[in-house]
Amino acid sequence: MKRDNIVIAVVGAVLLGLCVYLAIDDATTFFTFVAAGIALGAVYALVSLGFVVVYRATGIVNFAQVGLVMFGAFFTQNAYVTWGWSFWPSVLASIVVTALVAVLIERIAMRRMIGKPLFFTILLSIGIFLVFYSLVTSIWIGFEGNTLHSPWFTGGQHTFGKVAVLDVDIATAVAGAAVLLVFFALFRFTKMGLAMRATAIDPEAALAQGIRVPRVVAASWATAGIVAVVTGVMLGSGAEPKVALSAAGIAKVALAALPAMVLGGLDSPGGAVVGGLTIGLAYELFLGYYQQYFSALGNTFADVMPYLVMILILLVRPSGLFGTRDVRRV
Amino acid sequence: MSGPSRTPATPSASAALTNDQLARRSRREQRLIPSAGHAVGLVMVLATYLLLPHVLDNLWATVAVQAGILCIGGLGLNLLTGYAGQASLGHAAFISIGVFAASYVGRSAAYGGKGQPFLAYLVVAIIAGAVVGFVVGLPALRLRGPYLVIVTLGLVYATSYALTQWVTVSGGSVGAFTPVSTQIGTFNFQTMSVGRDQGLVYLVWGFAAVTGLVVKNIVRSRPGRALQAIRDRDVAAEVVGISLFRYKVGAFVVSSAIAAAAGVFYSTTAARFTADTQNFGLALSVSFLAAIIVGGIGTVYGTAIGAIIIAALPTVVTEYGANIPGVSDHLVTIFSGMIVAAVLVVTLITQPAGIAGSIQRLKSRNLRRVPESAAS
Distance CA A245, CA A145 (A): 5
* Residues sharing a CB contact under 8 Å with residue A176, sequence separation 6 or more, in sequence order: A41, A42, A43, A45, A46, A273, A276
Distance CA A252, CA A310 (A): 16
Residue type at B347? T
Distance CA B261, CA B102 (A): 9
Q: Which residues of A touch B147 (CB under 8 A)?
A: 262, 266, 314, 318-320
B286 touches chain A (CB under 8 A): yes
Band the pLDDT of B372: cuts 50, 70, 90: very low
Band the pLDDT of B368: cuts 50, 70, 90: low
Band the pLDDT of B38: cuts 50, 70, 90: confident
Question: Which range among A216-225, A244-253, B129-138, B349-358 shows the weakest confidence by mean pLDDT?
Answer: A244-253
Question: Which range, A200-209, A251-260, B202-211, has the best average confidence (pLDDT)?
Answer: B202-211
Query: Which pLDDT score, from 0 to 100, does residue B352 have?
Result: 87
* Residues sharing a CB contact under 8 Å with residue A84, sequence separation 6 or more, in sequence order: none
Distance CA B199, CA B212 (A): 20
Query: Which pLDDT score, from 0 to 100, does residue B306 have?
Result: 95
Grouping H, G, I as helix, E, B as strand and the rest as coil, residue A62 is coil
Query: Which pLDDT score, from 0 to 100, does residue B251 have?
Result: 94
Residue B248's CB: how many other CB atoms inside 10 A? 25
Band the pLDDT of B21: cuts 50, 70, 90: confident
Evaluate whether B96 touches B280 at the Cβ level (below 8 Å): yes
Query: Which pLDDT score, from 0 to 100, does residue B31 have?
Result: 81
Query: Which pLDDT score, from 0 to 100, does residue A141 have?
Result: 78
Q: Which residue has the higher pLDDT, A318 or A211?
A: A211
Evaluate whether B334 touches B86 at the Cβ level (below 8 Å): no
Band the pLDDT of B259: cuts 50, 70, 90: very high
Query: Which pLDDT score, from 0 to 100, does residue A328 have?
Result: 56
Q: What percent of chain B has pLDDT over 70?
A: 93
Band the pLDDT of B9: cuts 50, 70, 90: very low
**Average confidence (pLDDT) over A48-62:** 84
CA-based Rg of chain A, rounded to a whole angstrom?
A: 20
Q: What is the DSSP letter of A329?
A: -
Of B157, B163, B140, nearest in space to B285 by CA:
B157
SS3 labels along chain B: CCCCCCCCCCHHHHHCCCHHHHHHHHHHHHCCCCCHHHHHHHHHHHHHHHHHHHHCCHHHHHHHHHHHHHHHHHHHHHHHHHHCCCCCCCHHHHHHHHHHHHHHHHCCHHHCCCCCCHHHHHHHHHHHHHHHHHHHHHHHCCCCHHHHHHHHHHHHHHHHHHHHHCHHHHCCCCCEECCCCCEECCEEHHHCCCCHHHHHHHHHHHHHHHHHHHHHHHHCCHHHHHHHHHHHCHHHHHHCCCCHHHHHHHHHHHHHHHHHHHHHHHHHHCCEECCCCCCCCHHHHHHHHHHHHHHCCCCHHHHHHHHHHHHHHHHHHHHHHHHCCCCCHHHHHHHHHHHHHHHHHHHHHHCCCHHHHHHHHHHHHHHHHHHHHHHC
* Residues sharing a CB contact under 8 Å with residue A70, sequence separation 6 or more, in sequence order: A132, A133, A136, A232, A247, A250, A251, A254
Distance CA A309, CA A256 (A): 12
Work out whether strand B183-184 and strand A157-160 pair parallel, antiparallel, or are unpaired.
Answer: unpaired
B110 touches chain A (CB under 8 A): no
Contact B348 A123 (CB under 8 A): yes
Q: Give the minimum alpha-carbon distance from B233 to chain A in angstroms, rounded to a whole number.
A: 7
Query: Which pLDDT score, from 0 to 100, does residue B5 have?
Result: 46
Of A215, A227, A220, nearest in space to A71 by CA:
A227
Which chain B residue is nearest to residue A257, measuring alpha carbons? Answer: B150
Residue type at B224? G
**The pTM is what?**
0.88
Band the pLDDT of B373: cuts 50, 70, 90: very low
Cis peptide leading into residue A241 (ω within 30°): yes
pLDDT score of A267 more than 80: no
Q: Give the minimum alpha-carbon distance from B293 to chain A in angstroms, rounded to a whole number.
A: 9
Question: Which range among A48-57, A234-243, B94-103 shows the weakest confidence by mean pLDDT?
Answer: A234-243
Query: Which pLDDT score, from 0 to 100, does residue B74 have?
Result: 96
Distance CA B261, CA B313 (A): 24
Q: Give the minimum alpha-carbon distance from B88 to chain A in angstroms, rounded to a whole number.
A: 9
Query: Which pLDDT score, from 0 to 100, does residue A127 have?
Result: 93
Q: Which residue has the higher pLDDT, B110 or B11?
A: B110
Band the pLDDT of B375: cuts 50, 70, 90: very low
Contact A61 B150 (CB under 8 A): yes
Contact B286 A127 (CB under 8 A): yes
Band the pLDDT of B254: cuts 50, 70, 90: very high
pLDDT score of A108 more than 80: yes
Residue type at B2? S
**Average confidence (pLDDT) over A284-295:** 79
Q: Which residue has the higher pLDDT, A36 or B16?
A: A36
Residue A272's CB: how many other CB atoms inside 10 A? 33
pLDDT score of B303 more than 90: yes
Contact B348 A113 (CB under 8 A): yes
pLDDT score of A194 more than 60: yes
Contact A128 B345 (CB under 8 A): yes
Grouping H, G, I as helix, E, B as strand and the rest as coil, residue A17 is helix
Query: Which pLDDT score, from 0 to 100, does residue B216 have?
Result: 92
The dihedral of CA A169, A173, A174, A176: what is its sign? Answer: positive
Distance CA B215, CA B84 (A): 12
Question: Which range, A17-31, A231-245, B50-64, has the best average confidence (pLDDT)?
Answer: B50-64
Evaluate whether A209 touches A39 at the Cβ level (below 8 Å): no
Contact B344 A123 (CB under 8 A): yes
Q: What percent of chain A has pLDDT over 70?
A: 93
Query: Which pLDDT score, from 0 to 100, does residue A113 have?
Result: 84
Of A181, A218, A130, A329, nearest in space to B342 by CA:
A130
Distance CA A232, CA A148 (A): 10
Q: What is the DSSP string of A151-185?
A: TT-SS-EEEETTEEEEHHHHHHHHHHHHHHHHHHH
Band the pLDDT of A7: cuts 50, 70, 90: confident
Residues 198-237 of B with CB under 8 A from A: 233, 235-236
Burial class (CB in 10 A: 0-12, 13-18, 19+), B225: middle
Query: Which pLDDT score, from 0 to 100, does residue B93 have?
Result: 95
Q: Which residues of B touch A130 (CB under 8 A)?
A: 282-283, 286, 338, 340-341
Alpha helices by DSSP H, A63-117 = 64-81, 87-108
Band the pLDDT of A325: cuts 50, 70, 90: low
Evaluate whether B156 touches B280 at the Cβ level (below 8 Å): yes
**Average confidence (pLDDT) over B205-233:** 91
**Average confidence (pLDDT) over A211-229:** 91
pLDDT score of B374 more than 50: no
Distance CA A34, CA A169 (A): 11
Contact A314 B151 (CB under 8 A): yes
Of A233, A213, A180, A191, nearest in space to A50 by CA:
A180
* Residues sharing a CB contact under 8 Å with residue B315, sequence separation 6 or more, in sequence order: B59, B60, B63
pLDDT in tens, B326-363: 778 888 888 888 899 999 999 999 988 889 888 888 88
CA angle B123, B54, B302 (to 5 degrees): 60
| C-alpha B215: how far from chain center | 10
Distance CA A57, CA A59 (A): 6
Query: Which pLDDT score, from 0 to 100, does residue B129 have?
Result: 96
Q: Which residue has the higher pLDDT, A240 or A213?
A: A213
